[in-house]
Structure 1
Amino acid sequence: MNKTFKALVVEEKEDDIVAKLKECELTDLGEGGTIIKAVYTGVNYKDALATIKNGGVIRNYPMIPGIDVVGEIIETTDLILKKGDRVVVTGNGLGVTHTGGFSEIVRVPNEWVVKLPEMVDDKKAATIGTAGITALQAISQLEKIGLSDKNARILVTGATGGVGSIAIAMLKSLGYDNITALSRKKNEAYLQQLGAKDIIGLEEFMPEKIKPLQKQNFDYVIDTIGGESVAAILPQINYGGGIALCGNASGIKFSTTVLPFILRGITMVGIDSVQLSNDVKTTIWNRIGNELDEALLAKISNEEESLENIESVVTSLLEGSHSGRTLIKI
């Protein structure tokens, strides 16, 4: 292993936040018993927030962002893992409170590491990443509250983002055909390739006045954007249906009433992918390997960039012009 390696380091300088590619050493990394040679890392909205002032992600500087990483073990003190294992790390504070994946070398606690199934290669794992774990957990939670009818009317918001794209592809892989994507119309062709039947723009979706109860247009919803769009969705969920909340790109607040819950018996579930146990993550990765249609996954935008070009990727995420997944090839 080289003594030095490249990493994107976010630092606080003169009341501002600066992100620069720097030469680092092992002593610059967080503690842990497993050292990984990174192969890929995905760029998530949370990573973009980590590079700006008041992004609400990083509180202690300097920090290497990157909330997921795929790579090969170089060294480990774990009794089960071994050198050469292909592994993935997501959540658990990676890239937030512990140095993360935007680095050629990553060091993490042993218990954070998940060995990849043989049917999931490195690039597929990176395309899935934290976004896919979140999407699959959302689907799993909706299944627990009743999602099973293949004719169910499902709405996915923020549909061109990583979570939304993977959610649509997985739902289509599972046989659901009645999927509506909330997104810009210009993304219609891309979303239909993934499996969306209809595309609705946010402008036409949001009413001038949100009524406590409206026409029951959807049975289940995966919401990746949060904000007031949630207030507009809840009154449209069918009796006994549900919504999974897993994002806040449009804000953390919304106003609603109790009527959709007590008169239509809908369920709202929150989706967290950070603190999931390795058992749950392993189940999700096996499900991805066994059930996600490879042809649909291949349609998800997964452009490769180098660490040197990460700034432009982050900018597009913050501006809302980013689609699919961008993978940093290490």
Structure 2
Amino acid sequence: MSEQFHAFQTEGEGTGSLVKRTVEDLPQGEVLIKVHYSGVNYKDGLALHKKAKIAKDYPMIPGIDLAGTVEHSDSPDFSKGQQVICTSYDLGTAHDGGYSQYARVPAAWVVSLPDNLSLKESMIIGTAGFTAALSIHRLEQNGLTPEDKPILVTGASGGVGSMAVDMLSGRGYHVTASTGRLEEEAYLKKLGAEEVVGREDVTPEKIRPLDKQKWAAAVDPTGGKVLAAILSNVKQHGSVAVSGLTAGVEVPTTVMPFILRGVDLLGIDSAYCPMPLRKEVWSRCAGSLKPRHMEETATEISLNGLQQALNDILESKIRGRVIVNLQK
């Protein structure tokens, strides 16, 4: 195909613009996808800024996730018209990403859309929801059951946090949601949170090496001092799944939670999650971990609204998930 299509491209100076491209402009890969939806993630906002060192080179089309239909495939694993998902790996960082009406990607990055999931739903879940699901999957592999309570979710009004609250409550867990935006209490309780607490209730000014045992486990997409405070309050043999750094990369903790309470810190790497595990978790996203309130957590925009959405996510102004309809 030689006709032009639209994409959102950035030079790394904090902004992006709509450009016209052809398939010949796309990077190499075995699978050409007509993109129906993408999502807005914190990492996508960072990719607008060279100083964040997220993207390897510029100009770049951001977008670390996408869902669409196969237009052409040189791989026997995929065929024209097949509905697929592509998230993470180098998509939107070292390889042009999902903010484009067409994308060409390596077949090794592509997952067939699971049954019981639409393309739109897959991007409402997106990288954020996949990260939440992977966090819960790892916690359960580590022994967590709904009888263990309460489960803390930090950054609960954001993408990963909202999805984690919804998924956990749907599994029968007792969820305490922590947020810096207490005006979202009604929203979080609708998703299934039993309690909603402020960020300061989780992270005191002075963090003790060991404090009162409060949490059976935690899903933490924030890191930093928040993570240090959580670790000091996790119950004996509890676990924390950490997947983000919005509260910082330095974690001022000690070995005491690990050696005196047997706490496990689980690092969640959704970007380079091995494909067998990736397929298993996506299958759970369409089944036992499928969010029950996707429409309530999602706002849909077109490419024209993308710059504002990327600015907003960096300023923690977004509730839940923002998805980009590439066919608008």
Q: Return the TM-score normalized by structure 2.
A: 0.96
Structure 2 alignment gaps of length 5 or more: none
Helix, strand or coil at the partner of 1:54: helix
Helix, strand or coil at the partner of 1:191: helix
Distance in 2 between the 1:31 and 1:227 partners? Answer: 38
The percentage of counterpart residues that share the same residue type is: 40
Is the Cα–Cα contact under 8 Å of residues 148 and 216 in structure 2 kept in the other structure? no
CA shift at 1:149, angstroms?
3.6
CA shift at 1:235, angstroms?
0.7
Is the Cα–Cα contact under 8 Å of residues 193 and 299 in structure 1 kept in the other structure? no
Superposed, 1:104-183 pairs within 5 Å as 104-176=101-173, 178-183=174-179
92, 97, 102: which is aligned to 2:99? 102
Distance in 2 between the 1:295 and 1:144 partners? Answer: 23
2:21 maps to 24
2:303 maps to 307
Distance in 2 between the 1:82 and 1:152 partners? Answer: 45
Cα deviation per residue 1:230-249 (whole Å; 9 max; x = unaligned)? 11111100000010110001
1:7 matched to 2:3: no
Is the Cα–Cα contact under 8 Å of residues 47 and 67 in structure 1 kept in the other structure? yes
317, 320, 325: which is aligned to 1:321? 317
2:252 maps to 255
Is the Cα–Cα contact under 8 Å of residues 170 and 289 in structure 2 kept in the other structure? yes
CA shift at 1:297, angstroms?
2.9
Distance in 1 between the 2:90 and 2:56 partners? Answer: 12
Distance in 2 between the 1:295 and 1:110 partners? Answer: 31
Structure 1 alignment gaps of length 5 or more: none
Distance 1:129 1:315, change over 3 A: same
Helix, strand or coil at the partner of 1:158: coil
Over the aligned positions, Cα root-mean-square deviation in angstroms equals 1.4
2:42 maps to 45
Helix, strand or coil at the partner of 2:228: helix
Distance 1:126 1:210, change over 3 A: same
2:77 maps to 80
Is the Cα–Cα contact under 8 Å of residues 15 and 307 in structure 2 kept in the other structure? no
CA shift at 1:17, angstroms?
4.7
Helix, strand or coil at the partner of 2:52: coil
CA shift at 1:196, angstroms?
0.7
Paired AA for residue 182 in structure 1: S
Distance in 2 between the 1:11 and 1:95 partners? Answer: 13
Which stretch of structure 1 is more off in the superposition, 94-103 or 109-118? 109-118
CA shift at 1:10, angstroms?
1.2
CA shift at 1:284, angstroms?
1.3
CA shift at 1:5, angstroms?
1.0
Distance in 2 between the 1:169 and 1:17 partners? Answer: 32
Distance in 1 between the 2:165 and 2:84 partners? Answer: 25
Q: Return the TM-score normalized by structure 1.
A: 0.95
Helix, strand or coil at the partner of 2:49: coil
Distance 1:2 1:328, change over 3 A: farther
CA shift at 1:110, angstroms?
1.1
The list of structure 1 runs, each at least 4 consecutive aligned residues, that deviate by more than 6 angstroms after superposition, is: none
Distance in 1 between the 2:11 and 2:253 partners? Answer: 39
Is the Cα–Cα contact under 8 Å of residues 202 and 230 in structure 2 kept in the other structure? no
CA shift at 1:114, angstroms?
0.6
Distance in 2 between the 1:17 and 1:327 partners? Answer: 20
Distance in 2 between the 1:293 and 1:186 partners? Answer: 26
